[in-house]
Amino acid sequence: MPVHSINHFFIRAQDLEKTKDFYISVLGFAIMPRPDFPFPGYWLGVNGSIQVHLGPSNIPNREKYYLGTTDDAANGQTGVIDHVAFLAQEPQEFIDKFKSINLSFFPRYFPESKLYQLFLKDPNNVMIELNFFGITEAPVWGGEDYSKMERVSEIGE
């Protein structure tokens, strides 16, 4: 009875429409059919699968609808989750799009895994990681080479 995949993650969006537009126009998601929840929002997905559920952050009694949200929950951050990662293709298309709209991003490369990554933030400051596998050499867009980074040898308290 193991878990076999992730279905979606939920974002309490400070600006619901701006967040929806970001995931559609910048990352290529599409609006998916969504049940008639008692609050506004969107299901966004790719290839017919839901990936992201959006709802407005500041609705009355939000802790009643959003079971992971307490009265004192912060807005505009990822919280204890550092980032959310997606598999992607055609990294040059993303780079070109990000540059054309002046969207900041941070690249990283894992040569031994042939993995190239792009990190960017959505309108709510959620860190998004795009993973591109099969990259045999670091693209000209640069980025940190994880194989050359200083290693952590102990965990702080």
CB 108 within 8 A of CB 33: no
Asked if the model's pLDDT at residue 157 lies above 80, the reply is no
Task: Tell whether the model's pLDDT for residue 103 goes beyond 90.
Answer: yes
Say if residue 78's pLDDT is above 90.
no
More confident residue, 28 or 64: 28
Record the tokens describing residue 5, joined without a space: 């995949």
127 or 75, which is more confident: 127
- So what CATH class is 76-148? alpha beta
Rounded Cα gap, residues 90 and 37, in angstroms: 35
Q: What is the dihedral of CA 25, 146, 85, 104, to 10 degrees?
A: -30
Predicted model pTM: 0.86
Q: Is 66 exposed, middle or buried (CB count within 10 Å of its CB: 0-12, 13-18, 19+)?
A: middle
Q: How many Å apart are CA 127 and CA 80, to the nearest integer? A: 12
Considering the chain, tell me which residue range(s) the CATH 3.10.180.10 domain(s) occupy: 1-73, 76-148
What band does 25 get if pLDDT is binned at 50, 70 and 90? very high
Per-residue model confidence (pLDDT) at position 152: 81
Q: Are 128 and 83 in contact (CB under 8 A)?
A: yes
Alpha helices in the chain (DSSP H): 16-21, 62-65, 91-100
CATH of domain 1-73: 3.10.180.10
Residue showing tokens 């966004």: 44
Q: If you search the block for the tokens 């929840």, which residue do you land on?
A: 37
Q: pLDDT at position 137, please?
A: 74
Residue 156 is predicted with a pLDDT of 67
DSSP helix/strand/coil, 112: helix
